[in-house]
Chain A
């Protein structure tokens, strides 16, 4: 999906590397939605995702002089993946687990959805429900599988790029995708009532 960089990124990176904070903040404006979306799905917690997003951009600003390549977003994602891993590790150390009951803390999941203006068409509502249910299911996956599924299925990155972002091999990404999706498919068929928009139900009926 994001094979190449956004036009203009190169110039912004050059300016930011020279210490131009305004130029860097235009990069932040351009990518904060995507970075936050990645963090919130991987972490399942909006506050932690905000922290991880902020840390990602702070780290990126410090390292921008070392950025080489065409795809700024993929580079930012790589930093974000590491920030999320740090957070998950901290959590594991503290013995906190993420729970499916509070996937996006205290009933805030509506904030994940499109604005109400877009709600209206029944199929859109259905899609939103399905999306929220899928986000909750993602949290049942092991961290590495969730990370791979989010990068491939939500953000549309090819296996090779996910491998580069997560510091692993294409084979490992493939197996994480396979095991992660297998688990998701099994969870969905186990509780079809949670997935009103799931096409398989129509087929089975």
Chain B
């Protein structure tokens, strides 16, 4: 039964090309032979011819006013909303509106991406630091800590303990270093929670960071999908 339906679909697809006269003579003859035996195709042909005839017979439309260009229009003075672009290809024209729409979304996406990367950096730094033998820190470690400054600042309170004091100590060390004083001897700095890297507070902080990171990624994915849908 299916092959009959398939065959009919094939013929039905020929109705419009036949009526529009774009079939080759051989194809047209084959179609005529079929439609003379097929009521559905015959009706479809008659309807299509009537449709075309009705469109052709429809009264012609006249322009309601003159669209002659004034010298101002020709000079290309900025028009509200329109812009002076010439849509030469469908593809280019299609891109324009969507692109304008996409810009704020893209900014939001980029911001989310930046936030996610920053969080990832914090997490990996924290992880790598926790792997070290904690207790003594040289000047180089201090410098790293300073470079991380703001990120650590925001992440540290989550880690509990006394992060502000430890950071302040680190900064002082670096100042001394920058002033040309010989690098201070390794100085024990109490990184509080870091000393027992496996403490529950530290784990909670890492998990919280991971959740925030995943959240940002999720937001980014949503924004990106919406962006795609807007363009489509």
Q: How far is the CA of A166 from the CA of B91 in the complex (A)?
A: 10
Bitwise interface map of A from 122 to 147 toward B, beta carbon under 8 Å scored 1, else 0? 00000110110011000000000000
Q: How far is the CA of A56 from the CA of B94 in the complex (A)?
A: 16
Evaluate contact between B60 and A33: CB separation under 8 angstroms. yes
Tell me which of A46, A128, A152, A185 contacts B47 (CB under 8 A).
A185
Counting chain A CB atoms within 10 Å of each CB, the highest count among B43, B54, B56, B84 belongs to: B54
- Complex interface: chain B residues within 8 A of A185 (CB): 44, 47-48, 51
Evaluate contact between A82 and B67: CB separation under 8 angstroms. no
With an 8 A cutoff between CB atoms, is A6 at the interface?
no
Tell me which of B54, B71, B74 contacts A127 (CB under 8 A).
B54
Tell me which of A36, A86, A188, A197 contacts B97 (CB under 8 A).
A86
Q: How far is the CA of A134 from the CA of B55 in the complex (A)?
A: 8
With an 8 A cutoff between CB atoms, is B57 at the interface?
yes
Q: Separation in Å of the A34 CB from the closest CB of chain B?
A: 8
Evaluate contact between B16 and A85: CB separation under 8 angstroms. no
Tell me which of B57, B65, B79, B97 contacts A89 (CB under 8 A).
B97
List CB contacts (< 8 Å) of B77-130 with chain A.
Answer: 79, 82, 84-91, 93-94, 96-98, 101
Residues A59 and B87 in contact in the complex (CB < 8 Å), given A90-B97, A159-B20: yes
Q: Please give the number of chain A residues whose Cβ is less than 8 angstroms from any Cβ of chain B in the complex.
A: 68
Bitwise interface map of B from 1 to 40 toward A, beta carbon under 8 Å scored 1, else 0? 0000000000001011100101000000000000000000
- Complex interface: chain A residues within 8 A of B22 (CB): 158-159
Q: How far is the CA of A93 from the CA of B88 in the complex (A)?
A: 22
Residues A57 and B86 in contact in the complex (CB < 8 Å), given A40-B61, A152-B20, A198-B50: no
Evaluate contact between A63 and B67: CB separation under 8 angstroms. no
Q: Separation in Å of the B68 CB from the closest CB of chain A?
A: 4
Give the interface size class of chain B: 35 or more
Q: Separation in Å of the A152 CB from the closest CB of chain B?
A: 7
Q: How far is the CA of A85 from the CA of B92 in the complex (A)?
A: 12
Bitwise interface map of B from 181 to 211 toward A, beta carbon under 8 Å scored 1, else 0? 0000000000000000000000000000000
With an 8 A cutoff between CB atoms, is A11 at the interface?
no
- Residues of chain A touching chain B, judged by Cβ–Cβ distance below 8 Å, are 21, 24-25, 28-29, 32-33, 35-37, 40-41, 46, 50, 53-55, 57-63, 66, 78-79, 81-83, 85-86, 89-90, 93, 111-114, 118, 127-128, 130-131, 134-135, 152-154, 156, 158-159, 166-168, 174, 177-178, 181, 184-185, 188-189, 197-200, 203
Which 5 A/B pairs are nearest by Cβ-Cβ distance? A167-B90, A131-B58, A82-B87, A37-B61, A114-B59
